[in-house]
A and B are shown apart, each in its own frame.
Chain A
Amino acid sequence: MAPYASDENTTAGEGDEQRSGRRKAARYVVPVTVVGVAAATIGLVPALADSGDPDLPKITAQQLIEKIAKSDVQQLSGTVKISTDLGLPDLGGLESSLMSGAASPDEGGSSADPTSKLTELASGTHTLRVALDGPEKQKLSLLENAAEYSVVHNGKDVWGYDSKSNEVYHGTAAQGPEHEKEQPPATPKDFAEEALKAVDDTTSVTVDGTAQVAGRDAYKLLIKPKQSGSTVGAITVAVDAKTGTPLKFTLTPAGGGAAVVDAGFTQVSFDRPAASTFDFTPPKGAKVTEEKVTEEKAIEEKASAGAGAREHAEHAPKAGEDLGKGFGGLDGMKTLGEGWNAIAVLDTGGEGVPSGKAGGDLGGFMNSLGDKVTGKFGSGTVFSTRLVNALITDDGKVYVGAVTKDALVKAADAGK
């Protein structure tokens, strides 16, 4: 180094200068190379790691479904990445203000309440951690920035803990398992079960090759609606070849584009999780909210009891927008059609929801989100998302389903 350095300070003559100029430039090759190598590594490693689809013995769709049904995984822990893109209008701050407005008066506004917290999953990308040890012990954590929201079910207790606000929600024993069901599905297994419920003669189910998920060999089960008119394009479930546990769930819309729901393990282990994982005692000084079963909540529970995968999607705008109460309070719900094209019909008996009672600025705002349609049934407003469409007629009927706009209008016409 030293000779070079002194050389530079005493340089004289054209040739020397040119040479040193070239050498100067050559040194910058080093940082450029580092950038290049880094870029290549970032670009290539995922491609190399994707070592192709594993070779697994052939299996029929029927056998695979049986495998899922027989699967009896009692111990599991892992990380799940879930992305949802329902194409809901971006309500931003308005959404949360509506939500808190709707939730706080009757529920004490605990941010640790599982029902209010897990509806966050309805949009964006989230990382979850799950741990299971038998039917008595489950834990689900939603990883947030420098905070975490956990639901722990251990024996007769259900705890919700929000580390950001240091609030604890406590539910009790008997409600435990039911409680779990009431929550929106979060793991690939939950989604797969919901999807398989919908399998009947309106559905084609095939095995679509194999894949690697979270480092494990898996079969891919492809579920497709046979009828046209559904907004569901296809559902793919990756099923672990050894244990039959669904590892990845992808729902793509008929309209193309990114998946509406994409939930998959990024890391999974079938060993027994540490017992301490399920031990929860409220930290000192945390605000503990005990569960209250209000009448409204009971109705909501009833409404979501007969839910399918589509209901989940429906659940989201329900909680997000104030429509929730209108939907939840109704018991005159009918279903038109079957299989994937089923449409739920609600009769609010009054005026159309957005232009009527909700009234004022909100009404106008809601109208601006929907499209006006007319048909034999009269006129109404269609609210669309990428998966679920809803038609609210001016005489107060609500048609909701995972079907196209035209199918909704047709159903409304037929219903007249």
Chain B
Amino acid sequence: MSRADVVESARPVSPLWTFGLLRNELTTTFRRWRTLALLAVLAGVPVLVGIAVKIETGDGSSPGGGGGGGGPAFISQITNNGLFLVFTALAATLPFFLPMAIGVVAGDAIAGEANAGTLRYLLVSPAGRTRLLLTKYATVVLFCLAATLVVAVSALTVGALLFPLGDLTTISGTHISFAEGLGRALLIALVVAASLIGVAALGLFVSTLTNSGIAAMATTVGLLITVQILDQIPQLHALQPYFFSHYWLSFADLMREPVYWDDLAKNLGLQALYAAVFGSAAWARFTTKDITA
């Protein structure tokens, strides 16, 4: 729906210019100390998990407290195959660390500019509000991908250093080669990144509502926590399939043989719906609001 607006732009703007805007946004975002700190925390999680599992299993015992199967998914398989650390790390960071990082970046996207007084200068340039919003959203989505890949690459490195690699067993009990395992790990990372675009759109919408970057970040992260808590309350089971976090852990279905697509499809559909609803709400808000700062 917002495409139409891009076309409707008064002055013809070369696509290169849009690309320049996006590149500009990306360098600004990824150069911030805040962003780098977030990525460092995300990279640290697999290191912690890997070292903890290594120490715990140093005496030959199995992780996860024996037959209990506690802890994040796949944790009991890490000692046998370092590749599983990728899945464990993503399962451990997806409920909170990753969306929190997205919430911070997305919440800051518009409100941060308004807060710093740079928003109106951005709008003075021949960008147009819709285009600026799309650029901001693209930046946040690319950050989702970058954050997920940081976790995955860090986990793979730690896994390769601390544990053996090789052919792996899917959770259905069948064997796949290491190359196919790596392929699935990449696919899982992409699915995890895609799982976050709903939160990204929500954060962007919140960001258009306020002129305070901190307020937008806090609201987004607060919403995230609230939804996660509501998702645990059994009485709300009728609503839960519509919570953006409900199908997040379905990425594990990619490790079944054959892959069980039902929940994965539901997850991606739900994320697309959230992106469409909150993206268009952000557009409605941002293109009509008075920019005073």
Contact = CB atoms under 8 A, between A and B. Distances in A.
Contacts of A150: 172-173
Contact of A277 (B128, B174, B276): B174
Contacts of B281: 28, 30-31
Nearest to A4: B287
Interface in A131-156: 141, 143, 145-148, 150, 152
Interface stretch (B59-67, B102-110, B222-230): B59-67
B-side interface size class: 35 or more
Given A5-B123, A31-B281, A34-B277, A147 B69 contact: yes
For chain A, what secondary structure do more than half of its interface residues adopt (helix, strand, loop), or is it mixed? Answer: mixed
A316 to B, nearest CB: 21
B280 A31 contact: yes
A148 B172 contact: yes
Given A159-B173, A279-B174, A146 B249 contact: yes
B273 interface: yes
A5 B128 contact: yes
B283 A27 contact: yes
Nearest to A147: B171
A284 interface: yes
A280 B173 contact: yes
B10 A1 contact: yes
B284 A28 contact: yes
A2 B9 CA distance: 6
Contact of A1 (B5, B273, B290): B5
A165 interface: yes
Nearest to A110: B67
A2 B126 contact: yes
Contacts of B288: 8, 20, 23-24, 27
Contact of A38 (B64, B66, B129, B273): B273
A111 B9 contact: no
Interface in A274-291: 276-277, 279-281, 283-287
B211 interface: no
Contacts of B172: 129, 141, 148, 150, 163
A8 B130 CA distance: 14
A143 to B, nearest CB: 6
A165 B66 contact: yes
Nearest to B130: A1
Contacts of B128: 1-2, 5
Q: What is the size category of the interface that chain A forms with chain B?
A: 35 or more
Interface in A88-124: 109-111
Nearest to B88: A146
Interface in B1-53: 1, 5-6, 8-11
A40 to B, nearest CB: 12
Contacts of A159: 173
Contacts of B118: none
Contact of B173 (A24, A152, A266): A152
Interface in B170-218: 171-175
Q: Which one of B1, B169, B281, B291 has the highest number of Cβ atoms from chain A below 10 Å of its Cβ?
A: B169
A30 B9 contact: no
B91 interface: yes
Interface in B50-104: 62, 64, 66-69, 73-74, 76-77, 79-81, 91
A79 to B, nearest CB: 8
A284 B80 contact: yes
Contact of B287 (A27, A147, A266, A286): A27
Interface stretch (B138-146, B150-158, B252-260): B252-260
A5 B123 CA distance: 9
Contact of B277 (A4, A35, A109): A35
Contacts of B62: 165-166, 285, 287
Nearest to B128: A1
B1 A3 contact: no
A4 B5 CA distance: 11
A186 to B, nearest CB: 16
A145 B249 contact: yes
B260 A143 contact: yes
Contacts of B136: none
Contact of B67 (A20, A35, A111): A111
B68 A165 contact: yes
B80 A285 contact: yes
- Most interface-central of B67, B253, B273 (chain A CB within 10 A): B67
Contacts of B278: 31
Given A2-B11, A109-B67, A163 B284 contact: no
A161 interface: yes
Contacts of A51: none
Given A34-B277, A283-B80, A145 B175 contact: no
B73 A146 contact: yes
A11 to B, nearest CB: 9
B252 A145 contact: yes
Interface in B238-257: 249, 252-253, 256-257
B290 A8 contact: yes
A262 interface: no
A280 B257 CA distance: 12
Given A24-B288, A27-B288, A166-B62, A279 B175 contact: yes
B88 to A, nearest CB: 10
B277 to A, nearest CB: 5
Given A9-B290, A165-B76, 18 more contacts: A2-B10, A2-B11, A2-B128, A27-B287, A28-B281, A31-B277, A141-B256, A146-B74, A147-B73, A148-B171, A148-B172, A150-B173, A152-B173, A162-B69, A163-B171, A165-B62, A165-B67, A284-B81
Q: Which 10 A-B pairs have the closest CB atoms?
A: A146-B73, A146-B252, A27-B284, A1-B128, A164-B69, A163-B171, A283-B169, A285-B80, A24-B288, A31-B281
19 contacts: A1-B6, A1-B10, A1-B129, A2-B11, A8-B288, A27-B283, A27-B288, A34-B276, A111-B69, A129-B172, A141-B172, A141-B256, A146-B91, A148-B256, A163-B172, A164-B69, A280-B174, A284-B166, A285-B62
Interface of B: 1, 5-6, 8-11, 62, 64, 66-69, 73-74, 76-77, 79-81, 91, 123, 126, 128-131, 166, 168-169, 171-175, 249, 252-253, 256-257, 260, 262, 273, 276-278, 280-281, 283-284, 287-288, 290-291
